[in-house]
Amino acid sequence: MRWNHTPFLADEVAALSRDAGVDSILAELLLRAGIREPAAAGRFLEPALAGLGDPFLLPNLEAVAARLQAAIVNRDSVVVLGDYDVDGVTSTALLVMVLRKFGLSPRFIVPRRAEDGYGLSRSAIDRALEQGVPKLFVALDCGTNSHAEVAYLIERGIDVIVIDHHREKEGALTQGVLLNPHATAGGGETQALWRDFCTVGLVFKAMHGLLKRLRAENHPGALNLKLRDHLDLVALGTVADLVPLVGENRILARHGLRILQETQRPGLRALMEVAGMKAGQDILPADVSFRLGPRINASGRLADAALSVELLISEDSAFCFETARQLDQFNRERQEIERLMTGEAERLIESEYASHSGIVLFSEAWHPGVVGIVAGRVTRKYNRPCIVLGNEGEHAKGSGRSVHGVNLVEVLGQCRDHLSSWGGHPMAVGVSLIKGRLDGFRRQFAEAVRTHVGGDIAEARIDIAAWLEPHQIRDRLMDDLATLQPFGQGNPEPIFGLRGVVLSPPPTVFKEQHFRFWFDDGRGRRLHGVAWKMARRLPPAGVPIDLAVELAWNTYNDRRLLQLQLIDWRVAG
């Protein structure tokens, strides 16, 4: 890997350290996050719910809140359709639970990946209408580009609300009410504050607007409903959907993770138990990304994601524990499928596509519900955008993941002639195309990526946030790092550099893939580290080396050990 570090002037670090009342290392990390003023540093380190903006500044939110208020007053029948990922599932659960608080009984439906495909499809709509035609249909985390489907609903006499954060491709919806900061005109710089929201964040803003309207009318129950209590769902969807954790997303995620830690929802408590998480333990974005999120997603990948919605909204503890165990089993099955597919994908890349700047893989045998995870794994391993496709009749369908500096939405825009459908975010997309177009798409995608980056794809890089002396790695530094949480897109976990470290004794390999290492901090204290899946590249003992590490607490048997997590190493000098 290529190590990058751009130092700041010592006077600049010292000034922010002094004026913001923080340690010099934390001051350097704040500067690296673009925070130069003491007041901004205070808002970043202690993000307050009072910092959330007026929801009615979002274009069309007033219309969404007004229609939902009318549904409550008139006791309208409502159907909610949400996507099958964590963002869609949490969005659906949040809207359904709030509407239930005000006396409605909304039905909800989640598309079945194999039968309905992605989003607001005609088959999912028809399934939703089997139990009757509602007065109001709300589509969540999908629908921005569903012109024909929205028109079909309106022709049936149904009012339609779409709350979504995906980019529009052929012009914004002209029917129904669309709440999407990417696809509605107006708002200027104010609207840009919410362009990084995922759908559950937008639903939260809509519920905030709804509450404001109901409270203005002295609606019974509106004063007693605390939206803050639902921030656990908002944090789940926001972290899992990999949106930037800055601005209001940071506020929602920071407070939501704390609420998740103490959540009283039977479904989430059961899910945390099967995921091996102890009650009351600190919950970090990694817990959402690698423990809770995959289990919520598993039902949508292998079965029906409506099961995950039921888990989140149920008050039946017995049902919740049984459902959590079922999701855990789905997740184990998904992991085995993923392991086999990832091995096949890596062999394909190394034998046929290693020279491609952007990689497109396809197999008739690959499970369409797992291709996105495999795309993420091979993208990280080979440091280039990858699209992984499975079989769907005449079509190849799947997902793509990107790397730093490559906007997949822009890249796919150059390949649109080969595609039947596509959409998503700069870092993650869904793609479908006729199988006969695969070769042409593969060539054009590789060329589009090369053009986008201005040449061959760059080698993997590490951005060193700060260089440390080993003796600086202490509890106080860990406390300072905790104030920067949650880490994620837009607020990456800092990687620290250590110069001239000498390992003693030699690293110890365990489980044939990983190794542990130790060294003295120069003041008589031993520091411990671990390197995951790096056993084939052991650093030498007794020789000065540089380390690139992240810092974490390793909690085991109610004991905490400060642990270095190795990202890369090189011979010193």
CATH code at position 411: 3.10.310.30
Listed in order, strand segments (DSSP E) in 328-460 are 359-362, 386-392, 395-401, 421-424, 428-434
> CB under 8 Å to 189, separation ≥6 — which residues?
none
469 plus 552 within the same structural domain: yes
Task: Give the per-residue pLDDT at 186.
Answer: 54
Using the predicted structure, report yes or no on whether residue 189 has a pLDDT greater than 60: no
Using the predicted structure, report yes or no on whether residue 187 has a pLDDT greater than 60: no
Q: Are 412 and 394 in contact (CB under 8 A)?
A: no
Question: What whole-number distance in Å separates Cα of residue 300 and Cα of residue 194?
Answer: 27
Q: Judge if the upstream peptide bond of residue 220 is cis by omega within 30 degrees of 0.
A: no
Which residues on adjacent β-strands are paired with residue 430?
A: 399, 423
DSSP β-ladder status, 559-571 and 136-140: unpaired
Question: What whole-number distance in Å separates Cα of residue 21 and Cα of residue 539?
Answer: 39
3-state secondary structure of 109: strand
Question: What whole-number distance in Å separates Cα of residue 345 and Cα of residue 337?
Answer: 12
3-state secondary structure of 167: coil
Does residue 394 belong to any structural domain of this protein? yes
413 plus 561 within the same structural domain: no
Task: Give the per-residue pLDDT at 458.
Answer: 67
Give the tens place of pLDDT for each residue, 248-279: 999 999 999 999 999 989 999 999 999 999 87
Closest by alpha carbon to 139, among 155, 158, 156?
158
Does residue 256 belong to any structural domain of this protein? no
Does residue 279 belong to any structural domain of this protein? no
Handedness of CA 215, 137, 91, 324 (dihedral sign): positive
Domain region containing 548: 462-571
DSSP β-ladder status, 495-501 and 461-468: parallel
Give the tens place of pLDDT for each residue, 277-307: 987 788 999 999 999 999 999 888 777 889 9
3-state secondary structure of 234: helix
What is the number of alpha carbons within 13 Å of residue 540 lying toward its C-beta? 8
Closest by alpha carbon to 515, among 501, 539, 531, 537?
531
DSSP secondary structure letter of residue 56: G
Give the phi and the psi of residue 563 in degrees, each rounded to 5: -130, 135
174 plus 153 within the same structural domain: yes
3-state secondary structure of 269: helix
Question: What stretch of H or E contains 310?
Answer: helix 306-313
Residue 185 confidence class, pLDDT cut points 50, 70, 90:
low
For residues 466-488, average pLDDT: 96
132 plus 185 within the same structural domain: yes
Using the predicted structure, report yes or no on whether residue 475 has a pLDDT greater than 90: yes
Q: Which of 505 and 187 is assigned the larger pLDDT?
A: 505
138: Cα separation from own chain's centroid: 23
Work out the burial of residue 469: count CB atoms within 10 Å of its CB; fewer than 13 is exposed, 13-18 middle, 19 or more buried: exposed
Closest by alpha carbon to 484, among 496, 470, 469?
496
Number of structural domains (the chain) is: 3
Task: Give the per-residue pLDDT at 68.
Answer: 98
399 plus 539 within the same structural domain: no
For residues 531-554, average pLDDT: 96
Task: Give the per-residue pLDDT at 191.
Answer: 58
Q: Are 107 and 80 in contact (CB under 8 A)?
A: yes
Closest by alpha carbon to 285, among 550, 468, 511, 477?
550
DSSP secondary structure letter of residue 50: G
Q: What is the dihedral of CA 551, 270, 142, 94, to 10 degrees?
A: -100
Q: Which of 403 and 134 is assigned the larger pLDDT?
A: 134
104 plus 131 within the same structural domain: yes
192 plus 133 within the same structural domain: yes
**Verdict on whether the full-model pTM lies above 0.75:** yes
pLDDT-above-70 percentage for the chain: 98
pLDDT-above-90 percentage for the chain: 81
Task: Give the per-residue pLDDT at 215.
Answer: 96
Query: Which strands, in side-by-side order, build the sheet including 359-362?
Result: 359-362, 386-392, 395-401, 428-434, 421-424
439 plus 484 within the same structural domain: no
Q: Which residue has the tokens 């520091």?
A: 527
Question: What whole-number distance in Å separates Cα of residue 17 and Cα of residue 42?
Answer: 12
DSSP β-ladder status, 526-531 and 559-571: parallel
Q: Are 170 and 150 in contact (CB under 8 A)?
A: no
Question: What whole-number distance in Å separates Cα of residue 207 and Cα of residue 231?
Answer: 12
Q: Are 46 and 20 in contact (CB under 8 A)?
A: no
Does residue 497 belong to any structural domain of this protein? yes
Give the tens place of pLDDT for each residue, 431-452: 999 999 999 999 999 999 999 9
> CB under 8 Å to 332, separation ≥6 — which residues?
none
Residue 84 vs residues 206, 244, 275, 311, 456: alpha-carbon distances, Å: 20, 21, 20, 14, 36
Does residue 471 belong to any structural domain of this protein? yes
Position 226, amino acid: K
Give the phi and the psi of residue 54 in degrees, each rounded to 5: -60, 120
3-state secondary structure of 281: coil
Residue where a domain stops, chosen among 228, 247, 275: 228
Using the predicted structure, report yes or no on whether residue 114 has a pLDDT greater than 80: no
Q: Which residue has the tokens 């292998």?
A: 302
CATH at 509: 2.40.50.460
Residue where a domain stops, chosen among 207, 228, 249: 228
Give the tens place of pLDDT for each residue, 330-362: 999 999 999 999 999 999 999 999 999 999 999
Does residue 169 belong to any structural domain of this protein? yes
Q: Are 309 and 96 in contact (CB under 8 A)?
A: yes
Does residue 479 belong to any structural domain of this protein? yes
Using the predicted structure, report yes or no on whether residue 60 has a pLDDT greater than 90: yes
444 plus 517 within the same structural domain: no
Does residue 173 belong to any structural domain of this protein? yes
421 plus 532 within the same structural domain: no
CB neighbourhood size of 424 (10 A): 19
Mean pLDDT, the chain, as a whole number? Answer: 93
Residue where a domain stops, chosen among 170, 194, 228: 228
Residue 119 confidence class, pLDDT cut points 50, 70, 90:
confident
Residue 170 vs residues 152, 322, 324: alpha-carbon distances, Å: 18, 44, 40
549 plus 418 within the same structural domain: no
CATH at 85: 3.90.1640.30
403 plus 502 within the same structural domain: no
